[in-house]
Chains A and B, each alone.
Chain A
Amino acid sequence: MELSDANLQTLTEYLKKTLDPDPAIRRPAEKFLESVEGSQNYPLLLLTLLEKSQENVIKVCASVTFKNYIKRNWRIVEDEPNKICESDRIAIKANIVPLMLSSPEQIQKQLSDAISIIGREDFPQKWPDLLTEMVNRFQSGDFHVINGVLRTAHSLFKRYRHEFKSNELWTEIKLVLDAFALPLTNLFKATIELCSTHANDASALKVLFSSLILIAKLFYSLNFQDLPEFFEDNMETWMTNFHSLLTLDNKLLQTDDEEEAGLLELLKSQICDNAALYAQKYDEEFQPYLPRFVTAIWNLLVTTGQEVKYDLLVSNAIQFLASVCERPHYKHLFEDQNTLTSICEKVIVPNMEFRAADEEAFEDNSEEYIRRDLEGSDIDTRRRAACDLVRGLCKFFEGPVTGIFSGYVNSMLQEYAKNPSVNWKHKDAAIYLVTSLASKAQTQKHGITQANELVNLTEFFVNHIQPDLKSATVNEFPVLKADGIKYIMIFRNQVPKEQLLVSIPLLINHLQAESIVVHTYAAHALERLFTMRGTNNVTLITAAEMAPFVEVLLTNLFKALTLPGSSENEYIMKAIMRSFSLLQESIIPYIPSVITQLTQKLLAVSKNPSKPHFNHYMFESICLSIRITCKANPEAVGSFEEALFLVFTEILQNDVQEFIPYVFQVMSLLLEMHKNEIPSSYMALFPHLLQPVLWERTGNIPPLVRLLQAYLERGASTIASAAADKIPGLLGVFQKLIASKANDHQGFYLLNSIIEHMPPESVDQYRKQIFILLFQRLQNSKTTKFIKSFLVFINLYCVRYGALALQEIFDSIQPKMFGMVLEKIIIPEIQKVSGQVEKKICAVGITKILTECPPMMDTEYTKLWIPLLQALIGLFELPEDDTIPDEEHFIDIEDTPGYQTAFSQLAFAGKKEHDPVGQMVNNPRIHLAQSLHKLSTACPGRVLSMLSTSLNAEALQYLQGYLQAASVSLL
C-alpha cells in the first residue's frame, strides 16, 4: 500500500463503514481492514488519517484502529513471522510521540496506550531515544503536552510495581532513573510553584493538579522496587512538598459531585500511598519525616467530610495510620491520652457512622450489602478501615482505647434513647463500635474466636440487643434489627447458652421481616446457632429444646421464601436444611406440606437454575425429608416417589444439566429405601441410564455409578431376567470408566457390584473379557489407584467364586498367568490397599488362595505360598504403604477433562459403607488361623514344615498370635 491520497480515501471509507450499526455493512469492512493490515504502510496510513482527516470521527476511529493493530501485531513472537515491516516500525517510533502530544485528549489516550504497548516490547534497547524525547517536552511549558508525556510514562513504568526483581528490570529502571528522575523532580517543583501563581485560575489549576497526580503516581512506580539513590538524596524536596500538598485546600478544586473523587482527593490519596510505601519499605530513611505525615494525615481525616467521593482517600489515610500505630518504635506518637481520645473521637467514630449510601444499599441492593457486611468483602470501606485502626491501636493501648470508647458507646446509646426514630443511627454506630472493639479474631464458621476481655458482651447483649429484637414490630428500625441479629451471630460463642435460647424465638419471629437483610440475617443466625457444638460433641441446641418452636420455625422459614426478593435465598434454604437435620423426627408431621413446597420450588427453579448454593441446599433438604421419614416409616418411600418423579422426569427430559447429578442421588437414596424387589417404574428408566451421552459429563459419573449400584443391589435378578440384553451395555459403561485414569475407581465400584450381586450365570460369558480388559490396562498404564482397585476386585471375585475359579480363569487366559499376578502384583503391592473394608476383602480373598486352592500346594505355584502368607501378615501388621511413584503425582492435572459441572455430592444422600464379606468373616486374622488349621488337617505336616523353613521370624510370631487367639493349632 502506498502512502497515496487514493489509499487514504479508501481507508476512510472502510473506517466509516466499521462504525455502521448494520452488521451487514460493518462486518465486511472489518474483514477488509484485517485483510490489508499486513501490508506495508498500513499503520502509517492510519497515523496520517488520525492526524489529518477532516472528520473528527475518522480521526478517533483511526486512532482506535491503530492502537488495536499495535496490540495485535507489534510483539514479535519466536518462530512466527514478523507482522510489521521494519521500516514501518522505525517510522512509527519516530513519529508517534510528537503526534500523540499534539493530538486532542481523546486521541492522545489511544496513542499513549499504543506507545506503552510498543514500549513494553522495544523499550529501552530498541527505542533508546524515547526517554530523551519525552523528557525534552517537560521544558515545553505546555501542560497538555506534559500530561501526555506523564501519562505515557505512567503506563510504561507502572509495571515496576508488581514485577519480580531481575537484572533486566533493574537495568531498565536504572536507565529510566538516570534520564527521568531529575527532570521529574524539577517538573514537580515547577508545577507546585505554578499552582501557587495560578491559585485563582480554576482551569489552570485543574491541568496542574492532573500533572501532580501523575507525578505522584510516577513517584510510586519509580520507588517501588527499591529506594533509588536519587530519591534518597532528594527526599527532602519530595516529602516536604508531598506534606504541604496533603495540607493544601483550594475552593476552586472542590467539586460538587458527591460520588466521584475530585483531583484534590485523588492527589492526596496517592500521597498517602506514597507515604505508606516509604513507611513500610524504607523506614530507616523515612523515619525523620514520618511523624509529620502522621499528623498531617490525621488532620486530613479530621477535616474530611462524609461524602462518598472521599472514601478512597479516607480509607487509604486510615490504613496508613493503622499500619504505623502497630510498630513499636512509633508507639509514642499515639501514646498520649489526648491523642488517643482525639483519634477515637475524630477519626474512628465518625467513620463508623451509617451513611446515606449504606442506607441505600441496605434497602435497594441488599445482596451486595450482605456480601459486604456478612462475608467481609468490605476491605476498602471506611468502616472497615476504622475497624482495622481500632484493632491496631488495641495492640498497645487496649485498656485506654476500650475506656475511651465505652464513654462514646454510652453517650451514643443515650442519644438514641432520647429519640429513637431520629437517632437510631447512633445506636447502629454504638453496636458497630462494640463489635470492632471486642472482636480480635473471627472466622465464618465459628464467628468471633477471640474477644477483648474488657468488653462485657453479655451485658450489652441483654441490655441493648435483646430489647430491640423483643419489640413487637419486626419491621421497625430494620438496620438496628439486622445489627442485633448479627451481634448474636458473631458473638454466639461468647454469649451464654441460656441467652441464645431466649434469642431463638426472636430470630424465628424476624424471619417474617420485610427487609431482605433482616430476614436473611435471621435465617443465617439460626443456621449458625444450630451448628454450634456443645459438650460431648452433640449440638449445643438440642431437638428437645427446639420442640416448642418446630411449627413456627418451619412455617416462617418457608414463608420467608415467598417474601419479595428472597425466592431463591440461599441463607434461608440452608437454614431449612439445618433445621431438618437438627429436628429429625419432629418434622415428620409437617413433611407432606414441606415436600409439596420443596417440589414446587424445585419445579420453579429448574426452569432457570441460577443460584447453585440455593439449589444444593434444596436437594439436601429433600434428601433429609426422605431419610427422616423413611427411617420411621419405610412405606413412605412411595409417596416421595409420587411427589418427586414428575419433576425429575421433566428435569431429565429437559436435560437440566445442573440438576441431573442431584436427581440421580435422590433416586439412589429412594431406591435404597426399598426393601423388596425393584419397582417397575425404576426398571423402565434403566436402559436410559446406560446412554453414553450421560456418561460423557464428568459431573454425572459418580451419582450415576451410585445409582446403578443401587439398581444392582436391589434388582440384580430382575436385570438378569428382564433386561439381560442390557448387560453388555452395562459392561460397556464399565469399560468406558476403566479406560480413564481419573474414573477407573468408579468403574471398579460398578464391577464389584456386578460381581457381588448378579447371578453368576448371567455374567458367565463376559467374565474372561472383563479380566482381559483389566490386564490390558494393567500392562499399558498402571497407576497406584488402579492397582489398589484391581487388588480389591480380584479378591472380591475370589471370595464370591472361590480361589480355584480365580486360578482357572487366569490360567485360561494365558498359562502361568495366576503365578505371575501373584508374584508381580499381589505380593509386592498388597500393602498399598487402603480402607478397612478393602483390606478385609483382600485378607479373606488371600486366605482363600492360601487354603482353598489346591494348585498352591502341589504345582510350581507352591513356591509362592510362603511369600503370599508373608504379604498377608504384612497387610495385617505393617503400616499402609502410601508411597506414590513420582510421575503419578500429576495425574489429576493431566487427566482431568475440561471443566464441566463438577459432581455436587449431597451429604445427606450419603451411602452406607457396604461390607460384602461382613456376614462371612468377622475377624480376618482368626479366619486365617482357622483356614490354615483346616488346611493342615487335610495335609498334615506340610503347612508346618513350610512355615518353619521359610517364614521369617517376626511373621511367624504374629501368626502364632492369630492361632492362639483362634484357639487352634496346626498339625
Chain B
Amino acid sequence: VKKHSQHMKLFKNKGKDETSLRRQRVEVSIELRKAKKDEQILKRRNISIHVKEENPSLGQDRAYEIIQPSLEEILEAVNGDDTELQLLATQATRKLLSRHKDPPINQIIELGIIPRMVEFLGRADNASLQFEAAWALTNIASGTSEHTRAVVEGGAIPAFISLLSSPHMHISEQSVWALGNIAGDGPLYRDALIARDVIPPLLALVSPATPVGFLRNITWTLSNLCRNKNPCPPLDAVKKILPVLVFLLQHEDKEVISDSCWAVSYLTDSCNDRIQVVVDTGILPRLVELMDSPDVNVVTPALRAVGNVVTGTDQQTQDAIDAGVLTVLPRLLRHMKPVIQKEAAWTLSNIAAGPCQQIQQIITCGLLPPLVELLSKGDFKAQKEAVWVVANFTTGGTVDQVVELVRSGVLKPLLNLLLAKDSKTILTILETISKLFLAAEKLGETEKLCLLVEELDGLEKIEDLQNHENDMVYRAALDIIEKYFSGEENTDLEPQTGQDGLYDFSVEKQDFNF
C-alpha cells in the first residue's frame, strides 16, 4: 500500500499509474521472436545412449535393429499375450521414438498402443517391460501438446506417479522424466499432477545419496511443476517444494543449481504475495551469489529470479538490495552476453523505480558508470532497458540525484538513442528529457541544460522528431522545443537593468553544476 500511494503521488497530474513504473516481465503476451534460446527446455526426449549400458542385452539390441519390426508387427506383439514379444515390441517402439531424427510419434499414437503401454507400466513383475514402456511414453510426451495429451488420456499420470516409488531406480528415474514432460505442457496438466499428489513421492527421492544424474532429472521436473502462470501453481504445493529447492540450490552440480534457479525464477514471476513466499525462505543471498557465477547457465536463471523479486514491493526490493544485488549488477551490465545485459538493466530499472533512498543506493554502489556504458555501447535490447532505468531514476530521484545522473554522462548516449528505431523508446527518452528540464528549472540551470542538449546534437534530433509519424512522439518533441528551445533569442536578449536604467552586459547565470 505504501508503494502504491507513493507512486500515485509521484505521478499525480501525469496521467500515469504505478504499473508503468515497475514493469513486470511480460509486457506483451504475443511474441514475434524465436523462442528464446536462453529459456529452460520445456520438454525433453530421452535419446541418450548410455542407458544401453544398463541393458544387459546389448547384442540382442543389435540383432533387432537389423530386423526392425514393422509398425503392424509392433501393434500385433504389443496387443498379444506373449510377454517376450511384448517386451521386444515395446523396445522397438522406444527405439523408434529415440532415434535422432524424425521420431515417428504420430504414427505410434495412431497405432493406438498407448493404453497398452500404460498398462505395461503396472507390470511390477517385469521391470524391463515397465522401463521400456516408461521410456517410450516419455518420448511421446516430449512432443507437442497433442502428443502429451495422448499420453495423459491414455491414463499415464497415476501409473507414473506410482512408479516413482518403484524399487528400481532406473524406472523411478524414467517416471520422473515422463512426469516432467507432462508437467511442462502447461498449467492444466501441471495442476492435474499436483492434484494426484505427485509432490510427496517426488520429493522423497531427494536425498544426499541420490546420484547426480537422477537428481538433475528430479530438479528439472520440480522446475516444471513450478513453471507457468495463469494460474500459477497452488500455494501449498509451492510451500512443499520450496524447502527442497533451497536444499538443491546448495548442491555443487551446475545443472542442478541451474534448474533450481529456474524453478525459483518461475515462482517469483508472479504477484507480490508469491514473491514474499520465496523471500521468506531466506534464499536471496544465495541467489545473488549465484548471479555472480562464472557459468552463464546459472547466471541467467538466478538473475531472472532476483529480477522478478525487485518487481515486488519496496520492502522486497530492499531485501534484494540487502542481499547484495547492487554489488553484482555492475558486472552483469558489462556481461558479454547481450541477454544478460538486458536482464540486468531490466532489474536495475525496477530498483530505480523505488523510493529515493534506493536510488541513492544505486548511486553509492557505483551503478551509474556501467549504466552509461551500456546506454552508449550495449546491444539494442539492453539499451532499451537502460533507457527505462534512466526514466525511472529521473521520475523518482531527488534533484541532487538527477544532477548526479547527468554528471555521470548519461545525456549523450540518451540523446543518441533518439535515433532508435522504436517509438516507445523515443517517447520514453523525450519524457525523461522533460523531467531533466524540470529538475534544471528548479536549479535555475535551464539554459545550461539547453546548451548541453544542443552541444550533444540532441536539439536537432528532437527537432527532427517533430516530423515523426507517431502522434505522441511528435507531440512530446514539439512540447520540448516549444518550452525550452523556441524564442531562444529572447532569453539571449534579456538584459539586466542597471542603476542607470540602461541595459548592461553583466548578467550571467551561475555555472551549471551538472
Contact = CB atoms under 8 A, between A and B. Distances in A.
Interface in A275-292: 277, 280-284
A161 interface: yes
B338 interface: yes
B453 to A, nearest CB: 9
A672 to B, nearest CB: 9
Given A177-B32, A228-B33, A910-B495, A162 B470 contact: yes
B29 interface: yes
B24 interface: no
B340 to A, nearest CB: 12
B423 interface: yes
B477 to A, nearest CB: 13
A35 interface: no
Interface residues of B, number: 49
A539 B377 CA distance: 42
A366 interface: no
Contacts of A441: 455-456
A450 interface: yes
Interface stretch (A163-171, A683-691, A719-727): A163-171
B503 interface: yes
B506 interface: yes
Contact of B497 (A227, A327, A910): A910
B476 to A, nearest CB: 12
B503 A537 contact: no
Interface string A621-654: 0000001100100000000000000000000000
B497 A912 contact: yes
A120 B31 CA distance: 22
Contact of A281 (B30, B421, B501): B421
A620 B473 CA distance: 37
Given A167-B28, A167-B29, A886 B490 contact: no
A913 interface: yes
A280 B460 contact: no
Contacts of A450: 455
A761 interface: no
Contacts of A908: 493, 495, 503
A555 B119 CA distance: 110
Given A162-B470, A281-B421, A631 B500 contact: yes
B290 to A, nearest CB: 24
Contacts of B500: 631
A449 B27 contact: no
Contacts of B454: 442-445
A886 B10 CA distance: 12
B52 interface: no
B424 A165 contact: yes
B34 interface: yes
B319 interface: no
Contact of B28 (A165, A327, A328, A613): A165
Contact of B30 (A174, A233, A613, A889): A174
B33 A281 contact: no
A226 B470 contact: no
A232 B451 contact: no
B488 interface: yes
A537 B495 CA distance: 13
B229 interface: no
A379 B461 CA distance: 9
A280 B28 contact: no
Given A162-B423, A450-B455, A631-B500, A284 B30 contact: no
Contact of A907 (B421, B460, B490): B490
Interface string A351-380: 000000000000000000000000010010
A161 B469 contact: yes
Contacts of B377: 327-328
A783 interface: no
A631 B506 CA distance: 19
Interface string A261-284: 000000000000000010011111
A607 interface: no
B379 A283 contact: yes
A328 B373 CA distance: 11
Contacts of A889: 13
B464 interface: yes
Given A161-B469, A177-B32, A232-B34, A284 B338 contact: yes
Interface residues of A, number: 60
B473 A165 contact: no
B508 interface: yes
A227 B495 contact: no
Given A277-B421, A284-B338, A537 B505 contact: yes
A280 B426 CA distance: 14
Interface in B378-432: 379-380, 419-424, 427
Interface string B17-29: 0000000000111
A226 B422 CA distance: 9
A77 B448 CA distance: 47
Given A165-B27, A167-B28, A442-B455, A283 B492 contact: no
A445 B33 CA distance: 47
Nearest to A229: B34
Contacts of B493: 620, 907-908
B12 A886 contact: yes
Nearest to B420: A280
A174 B32 contact: yes
A480 interface: no
A835 to B, nearest CB: 15
Given A163-B423, A164-B470, A538-B505, A443 B32 contact: no
A225 interface: yes
A299 interface: no
A446 interface: yes
A209 interface: no
Contacts of A631: 500, 502
A537 B509 CA distance: 11
A177 B33 CA distance: 11
B110 interface: no
A283 B33 contact: no
Contacts of A912: 497, 501
A81 B94 CA distance: 65
A225 B508 CA distance: 46
Given A229-B32, A280-B380, A162 B469 contact: yes
Contacts of B468: 162
Contact of B503 (A284, A323, A533, A910): A910
A646 B13 CA distance: 52
Nearest to B454: A443
Interface in B318-332: none
Interface in A189-244: 224-229, 232-233
A450 B377 CA distance: 22
Given A277-B421, A908-B503, 17 more contacts: A161-B421, A162-B423, A164-B470, A165-B28, A170-B30, A173-B32, A177-B32, A228-B33, A281-B380, A376-B460, A444-B488, A445-B454, A537-B505, A613-B489, A620-B493, A627-B502, A907-B495
Interface of B: 12-13, 27-35, 338, 377, 379-380, 419-424, 427, 451, 454-456, 460, 464, 468-470, 472-473, 488-490, 492-495, 497, 500-503, 505-508
**Top 9 A-B residue pairs of the complex, sorted by shortest distance between their CB atoms:** A907-B493, A170-B30, A162-B469, A441-B455, A162-B470, A229-B34, A443-B454, A226-B32, A228-B32
12 contacts: A161-B469, A167-B29, A174-B30, A174-B32, A224-B421, A376-B460, A445-B454, A449-B451, A533-B505, A886-B13, A905-B490, A910-B495
Interface of A: 159, 161-167, 170-171, 173-174, 177, 224-229, 232-233, 277, 280-284, 323, 327-328, 376, 379, 441-446, 449-450, 531, 533, 537-539, 581, 613, 620, 627-628, 631, 886, 889-890, 905, 907-908, 910, 912-913
